[in-house]
Amino acid sequence: ETGVTQSPTHLIKTRGQQVTLRCSSQSGHNTVSWYQQALGQGPQFIFQYYREEENGRGNFPPRFSGLQFPNYSSELNVNALELDDSALYLCASSLSDSPNSPLHFGNGTRLTVT
């Protein structure tokens, strides 16, 4: 059983640029969530996708957007990068969008904005 995989593992971008991060969910999982983790902090919820539709969003501006594909893989896009966007971006998948369905996290993408 393949776990959650994220790419790339590390990324360096310049302020104002755009970035796309990718996530392959665990086999059989149809729900994907994205979290942002600043250094020394707990992860913060960005949004969740269930069967290709966004079904929940945290306090992040519209320049954070996402997609989920028919195979349930997902992308996180961030436009107009700011220095504060530097963080570890974590993707998690779950068997369903049920609140009792445990999340399984990938190893994250470390984004540095200079």
Partner 1 sequence: KQEVTQIPAALSVPEGENLVLNCSFTDSAIYNLQWFRQDPGKGLTSLLLIQSSQREQTSGRLNASLDKSSGRSTLYIAASQPGDSATYLCAVRGIQGAQKLVFGQGTRLTINP
Q: Which residues bind partner 1 (CB under 8 A)?
A: 4, 6, 33, 35, 40-45, 48, 55-56, 58, 88, 90, 92, 97, 99-100, 102-108, 110
For the chain, the straight-line distance linking the first and the last C-alpha, in angstroms and rounded, comes to: 37
User: Which of 22/110 has CB closer to partner 1?
Assistant: 110
For residues 19 and 108, which CB has a smaller minimum distance to partner 1 in the complex? 108
With the CA atoms of 4, 104, 79 and 9 taken in that order, what torsion angle do they form, in degrees rounded to the nearest 10?
-50
* Smallest distance, partner 1 to C-beta of residue 106, A: 5
| Residue with Cβ nearer partner 1 (17 or 55) | 55
Smaller CB separation from partner 1, 71 or 100: 100
How many C-beta atoms surround the C-beta of residue 101 within 10 A?
14
CB of 16 to partner 1, least distance (A): 26
88 class by beta-carbon count within 10 Å (0-12 exposed, 13-18 middle, 19+ buried):
middle
Could you tell me which of 20, 12, 8 has the C-alpha nearest to residue 79? 20
Cβ at position 111, least distance to partner 1 in Å? 13
* Shortest Å distance, C-beta 110 to partner 1: 7
Q: What distance in Å separates the CA atoms of residue 90 and residue 57, rounded to the nearest whole number? A: 15
